[in-house]
Amino acid sequence: MGAPTIGIDVGGTKIAAGVVDGHGNVVARVRIPTEATDLAAIIGGITKVGREMRAAAPAAQAVGVGAAALISHGVILGAPNLAWRDLDLRQVVEDRLGLPAVVDNDANVATLAEATYGAARGAGHVVMLTIGTGIGGGLVLDGRLYRGANGVGAELGHMVIDPGGPRCPCGNNGCLEVMASGTAIGRIARERSDGPGAAKVLELAGNDPSLIVGETVVRAALAGDAFAISVLDEVGEWLGMGMANYVNIFDPEVFVLGGGAALGARELLLAPAVAAMEPLIVERERRPPVRVAFVELGDDAGVIGAAVLARELI
Ligand SMILES: [Zn+2]
């Protein structure tokens, strides 16, 4: 396969860049902290790591950027954790680095990476959910990233699955994000922390119920605590309902799960999710079972996915 490309991954805490060869290997890399509140510093950081990678790989012909932001056709519309808005980042990167550039959000590029070289390699139809503080996601359909008419589609965390549920940061009630994220795990455990079974979770939170977070519950569940396991069962059921809806709509070959909550809890979240998902799949007796896998590329997914995205330019 072709020439190497450069991938840049801009997150709330770090900017990572790498040169990725035609087989998906990261052959050079650099990482610096993000000064998330200073736009000039963010752009300066992207320029610095990009130029370093250009110097490392003079044959590279294009650069891809994945960023934690709402992005439409290369323009940053806004971001929860970074100080930029209404910025044509694609143009900025092209001007600074002198290479054709493409920009997309971090969830999309991570999905592309997993669909090309990771847990779903070889599959043309992939749904990915990243389950952490919120729920992000991406879609690869017919071998290509799906972005929607305005480039802001695939917001898989914001499907409403319980209209009576808690308010989501997006303004809706009962999105998958508030029912099945790491934040949801912590919230449910806090709400029930005065019950008889909550002693272990409370102890791990220093006996302060307000300090119970998703990670506290996952730690207790991994140690066998029945209360914590019951919270993960409940959150897993909501997750499975969301996954079934995506399976019915997109008919993926592989469902990829990532994010801190999913990778911490693993089977403790996956088992109840799959048990809830399967009965809700339409015509499930007449179709092969959907494969559910955890992400494989770890921290490199952003850099690899951005570099894979850049290949569409050469
Ligand atoms: Zn929402």
Per-residue confidence of the chain (314 residues) as pLDDT tens digits? 578 999 999 998 899 999 999 999 999 999 999 988 889 999 999 999 999 999 999 999 999 999 988 899 999 998 877 788 889 999 999 999 999 999 999 999 999 999 999 999 999 999 999 999 999 999 999 999 999 998 889 999 999 999 999 999 989 999 999 999 999 999 999 999 999 899 999 999 999 999 999 999 999 999 999 999 999 999 999 999 999 999 999 999 999 999 999 999 999 999 999 999 999 999 999 999 999 999 999 999 999 999 999 999 99
Integer Cα distance of 64 and 123 in angstroms = 22
Q: DSSP label at 59? A: T
Q: Cα 199 to the chain's mean position, in Å?
A: 32
Residue 118 has φ and ψ, to the nearest 5°, of -110, -135
Distance from the alpha carbon of residue 213 to the mean position of ligand 1, in angstroms: 20
| Residue indicated by tokens 């997993």 | 114
Give, rounded to a whole angstrom, the gap between the first and last alpha carbons of the chain.
12
**For residue 5, what pLDDT is reported?**
98
- Measured from the Cβ of residue 21, the count of other Cβ atoms closer than 10 Å reads 18
At residue 176, φ and ψ (nearest 5 deg) are -50, -35
Q: Which of 44, 89, 37 is nearest to 67 (CA)?
A: 89
**Cα-to-centroid distance, 168 and ligand 1 (Å):** 5
Question: Token pair for residue 195?
Answer: 């019950």
Q: Are 32 and 46 in contact (CB under 8 A)?
A: no
| Contact (CB, 8 A) for 209 and 202 | yes
Q: How far is the CA of 40 from the centre of ligand 1 (A)?
A: 30
Pair 92, 100: CB distance under 8 Å: no
Residue 270 sits at the vertex; the CA angle it makes with 123 and 80, to the nearest 5 degrees, is 80
Report the separation in Å between the CA atom of 160 and the middle of ligand 1, taken as the mean of its atom positions: 7
Q: What angle do CA 115, 117, 119 make, to 5 degrees?
A: 60
Question: What is the reported pLDDT for 124?
Answer: 96
Compute the distance from residue 311 Cα to the ligand 1 centre, in Å. 32
Distance 61 CA to ligand 1 centre (A): 38
* Tally of CA atoms within 13 A in the half-sphere of 96 that contains its CB: 21
CB 116, CB 24: distance < 8 Å? yes
Q: Are 239 and 176 in contact (CB under 8 A)?
A: yes
For residue 167, give the DSSP letter. B
pLDDT at 1: 57
Interval between CA 39 and ligand 1 midpoint (Å): 27
Q: How far is CA 80 from the centre of its chain?
A: 15
Q: What does each C-alpha distance from 72 to 69, 77, 99, 199 come to in angstroms?
A: 10, 7, 20, 47
Q: What's the rounded Cα separation, in Å, for the pair 42 and 123?
A: 35
Amino acid, single-letter form, for residue 11: G
The residues whose Cβ lies within 5 A of ligand 1, an ion, are 158, 168, 170, 172, 175
How far, rounded to the nearest angstrom, does the alpha carbon of residue 128 sit from its chain's CA centroid? Answer: 7
C-alpha 314 – ligand 1 centre gap (Å): 36
State the alpha helices, DSSP H only, in the chain. 39-56, 89-97, 106-117, 176-180, 182-191, 199-204, 214-222, 226-250, 260-265, 267-277, 301-310
Which tokens hold the place of 202?
Answer: 């409370």
Distance 295 CA to ligand 1 centre (A): 23
Q: How far is the CA of 104 from the centre of ligand 1 (A)?
A: 20
